[in-house]
Structure 1
């Protein structure tokens, strides 16, 4: 199973389009996971056109999105427990806030966003993954998103795709 993972699309400025490398992954994926900050309902709807979408609301999403999307959610895919949260808030690091959002839940992977900084590290046996941003890289050297591949609960991997 191929899953495209993204966050912080922030694509309202200047009629931006999704980068071709992202579009290719979206077209090939069985599922899309978005960790918040679509910014607009139009971006949310355009991603749904590519297929099944699991998503959470981010801090800069339009009010309509905040009303229809949860602030955090979990999905179990082929035995892998995945927590999804945007990661915004006050105090602590984005990674710590994401980790604490699922402190009372048994998850294998936490997908989060907010910082726009690609992140891939284990914390206390749980893999934390921030895909970065495909449209607003801020001070990062490249735009990015993630690809999660699941064969079964004992064989899965996630990695970043970087592009300029």
Structure 2
């Protein structure tokens, strides 16, 4: 069994100067992996997250500079037989962010597509692929609460949940 923290659109330090307490609590209790779906803004967040668990992440539309040029546009990984794709969701064809994320990964043999960009939590199945956007833990925009995602992967199954906080 693997526990995964899923975040996106942290926009640090502009929208938050520290990792929010609800996420720190999760990190201190232990996760096996951290997935960040882009718009980090600074490398220091990556370095801080690395102190808790291995981090996989993609480049978002506001990530720029030398460090961000090392980030991929898409990550494909397999955790305990669950195949995961991750993109930010700002590139490609489609009117909505979920549609762009799906189209960016529809030809990949994956079970889950994780994306960000819209800051809107999203959890839906399309063509046997789970689309999941954790929302944002630091920039909720028009959402009522900040949010992040937690996943539990066991053998070939994944359970994804949103966690909300004020």
TM-score by length of structure 2 reads: 0.93
What is the CA-CA distance between 1:14 and the residue it aligns to? 7.3
- The two structures, once aligned, show a CA RMSD in angstroms of 1.4
Task: Choose which of 70, 73, 76 in structure 2 pairs with 1:74.
Answer: 76
Aligned residues: 163
Give the counterpart of 1:44 among 21, 43, 46. Answer: 46
The reply to whether residue 23 of structure 1 matches residue 34 of structure 2 is: no
Deviation at 1:156, TM superposition (A): 2.1
The offset of 1:15, in angstroms, is 6.0
Please give the TM-score of this superposition, normalised by the length of structure 1: 0.94
Map Cα deviations across residues 72-93 of structure 1 (whole Å, 9 max, x no partner): 0111011101000000136521
**Contact 1:26/1:32 (CA < 8 Å) preserved in 2?**
no
Task: Kindly report structure 1 stretches of 4+ aligned residues shifted beyond 3 Å.
Answer: none
Q: Secondary structure at the residue paired with 2:38?
A: coil
Separation of aligned partners in 1, 2:13 and 2:116? 18
Structure 2 stretches lacking a partner, 5+ long: none
Other structure's SS at 1:134 match: coil
- Distance in 1 (CA, whole Å) between partners of 2:81 and 2:143 is 33
Secondary structure of 2:67's counterpart equals helix
**Which of 96, 111, 120 is the aligned partner of 1:117?**
120
Q: Given the alignment, which residue of 125, 150, 154 partners 1:151?
A: 154
